[in-house]
Structure 1
Amino acid sequence: MSRISTMGAGREPASAVWRDTPERYGRVSRAFHWLMAALFAWQFAGALLYVGLGDTAVTRFVGGSHFTLGATLFALVLLRGAWGLANLSRRPPHRGRLGRAAVAGHAVIYALMIVVPGLALLRQYGSGKPFTPYGLPLMPGRDSKIDWLVAPGDLLHHWLAFLLLAILAGHVAMALLHRALWKDDVLARMTRG
């Protein structure tokens, strides 16, 4: 019995919808991408409001989830990275100079998505303050502070986060340029699948 007759005419196997293919990203990759885009937008909105307005009721509302959301994004980037590695040979290819630049840009984005919250978690642990996102006791409190764990986060977290924001803005701009200028709708790979 042929593959088409067992699945029905025109239907793809279920794994082909969920996993990446050379033509498009699957549902899992797209879900990770857009969920994380929305969470990063909220995270950066809170940070930008705080920089622009200072400590107000609005900034406390938007930024009040900053620690918990950062830990969530850290977990999601690790899961997304594992999923991406598992699908690496099936993903849409990046060809030519622009393709190599896209690969390099994605590598920098992934590195910053790990380093930025990693520094914040290191700083949190070094501070001695408890950390219980979603009520889960990830880091117990203690009386002493470990300065050498706090220092890298104090020095770099803020600046690397805004570098990540700038690179993400460039990522969005390049997707729009591909569509408007070069008429090769790479965005469709991550939207329609």
Structure 2
Amino acid sequence: MNPRNTPERWGAVSQSFHWLIVLLILGLAIVGLTMGDLPRTPKYFWVYTAHKSMGITVLALMLLRLGWRLYAGAPAPVAGTPRWQAAIASGTHWALYALALAMPLSGWLYDSSSGLRPFRFFGLFDMPKLTGPDEWLAERARDAHELLFWVLVLLVAVHAGAAFYHHLFRRDETLVRMLPARRARPLPRQDPDHVA
């Protein structure tokens, strides 16, 4: 499989970034929505720190993905796609990139301004603080983090719905080109002495 994007499909690097980030955000969403119900035991603080570490991982991967997108470009719209749909798809992609960057940044800002001690990134090193303790900023950052999450959920639903619409109803390659390419099956060898 080609690591670079081509005019017809996303390459292996873009696909890897896409699906890895999807899985991480799904995990972050599940943990984030259930974290508040956990009892305040040492396990809770471990889960909370893992959530923060995964968020920073998404931030790093999104920066790499954005750099790769700027370097490798993107496939052209599928043939027959109306111009207005292509414009919406492009705008949605860039909005998803912005949200996937803003979400972890708002969480990191919330952690920094809440006055908590620095968290250790997967237990390896302390993450630097973006700012000193600030109760007002911590509340704004927390609210932004929650709002951005729900906007991201909505946009992901629209994005996935559009991909399935194209796959199931328009029957074009929009969804398939973000999946690993299937190799064509070799044709069975013909016996030259066999006459049909």
Counterpart CA distance in 2 for 1:167 and 1:56 is 32
Could you say if the C-alpha distance between residues 22 and 56 of structure 1 is closer, same or farther in structure 2, counting changes exceeding 3 Å? farther
Q: Which amino acid aligns with 1:139?
A: P
Q: Does 1:187 align with 2:175?
A: yes
The Cα RMSD (Å) is 2.5
Counterpart CA distance in 1 for 2:7 and 2:60 is 27
1:184 partner SS: coil
Q: Does 1:38 align with 2:23?
A: yes
| Greater Cα offset, 172-181 or 91-100 | 91-100
Match of 2:134 among 116, 126, 146: 146
Task: Quote the residue 1:73 is aligned against.
Answer: 58
Identity %: 29
Q: Does 1:29 align with 2:17?
A: no
1:164 offset after TM fit, Å? 0.4
**Unmatched segments (≥5 aa) in structure 1:** 1-15
- Asked if structure 2 preserves the Cα contact closer than 8 Å seen for 1:32 and 1:76, the reply is yes
1:181 partner SS: helix
Task: Quote the residue 2:159 is aligned against.
Answer: 171
Counterpart CA distance in 2 for 1:47 and 1:149 is 20
Larger Rg: 2
Task: Quote the residue 2:88 is aligned against.
Answer: 101
Deviation sequence 1:2-36 (CA, Å, 0-9, x none): xxxxxxxxxxxxxx711111011111101000111
- Asked if structure 1 preserves the Cα contact closer than 8 Å seen for 2:99 and 2:148, the reply is yes
What is the TM-score with the length of structure 2 in the denominator?
0.78
What is the TM-score with the length of structure 1 in the denominator?
0.79
Q: Map residues 51-130 of structure 1 onto 2, 5 A cutoff.
A: 54-55=37-38, 60=44, 64=48, 65-88=50-73, 91-94=74-77, 96-128=83-115, 129-130=117-118
Counterpart CA distance in 2 for 1:36 and 1:26 is 16
2:170 partner SS: coil
Deviation sequence 1:46-83 (CA, Å, 0-9, x none): 233347xx3369x9599542111111101110110001
Q: Which amino acid aligns with 1:107?
A: W
1:149 offset after TM fit, Å? 3.7
Q: Which amino acid aligns with 2:152?
A: L
